[in-house]
Amino acid sequence: MNVKQSLQTRALHLLARREYSRLELEKKLAGHAETPEALSEVLDTLEHRGLLSAERLVEQVVHGRRHKYGAQRIRHELKEKGIADHLIDTAMSELKETELQTAREIWRKKFGVMPESLKERSKQARFLATRGFSAATIRQILACPDEEG
């Protein structure tokens, strides 16, 4: 088996388990490639055949994280994976529509009661911030968590 086939086989084994971005796959396979050009050629082939897809990865990440995290955290994760800005922007526009409702559900599940002190309010705000929700969304939740809209 030549090196190109070996790289392609490794890549296919990885892609069989889950979606990867081109950048992630490049990092994982870099140590096994003789040259960066050979690795690039294999990745180009996988993209051309539809086996490596940034769009599918974005869908998977958004679908898997949208009920646990806010748009900011998901955006950061996609950027870390090397996804193009236009794909991230498209996904974020869809997420923004449901972000407030998601934040409400997460807040209700974790706390369920309005904060009685400044310390408790800060704790709840920090929790939501670490989940990737915007300051405006957090203010809305902590002002009136049951209010829709």
CATH, domain range 1-52: 1.10.10
Percent pLDDT > 70 in the chain is: 93
Predicted pLDDT at 145: 59
| Cα angle: 115, vertex 122, 75; to 5 degrees | 115
Find the mean pLDDT for residues 27-47.
88
Altogether, the residues listed in the chain come to a count of 149
Question: Where are the domains positioned within the chain?
Answer: 1-52
**What is d(CA 9, CA 24) in angstroms, rounded to the nearest whole number?**
16
For residues 99 and 69, give the distance between their C-alpha atoms in angstroms, rounded to a whole number: 9
Give me the chain's average pLDDT, please.
89
Query: What are the tokens at 17?
Result: 């388990």
**Band (97; pLDDT cuts 50, 70, 90):** confident
Write a three-state SS string for 57-91.
Answer: HHHHHHHHHCCCCCHHHHHHHHHHCCCCHHHHHHH
Segment 38-60 shows an average pLDDT of: 91
**pLDDT of 120 above 80:** yes
Q: Of all residues in the chain, what percent carry a pLDDT higher than 90?
A: 66
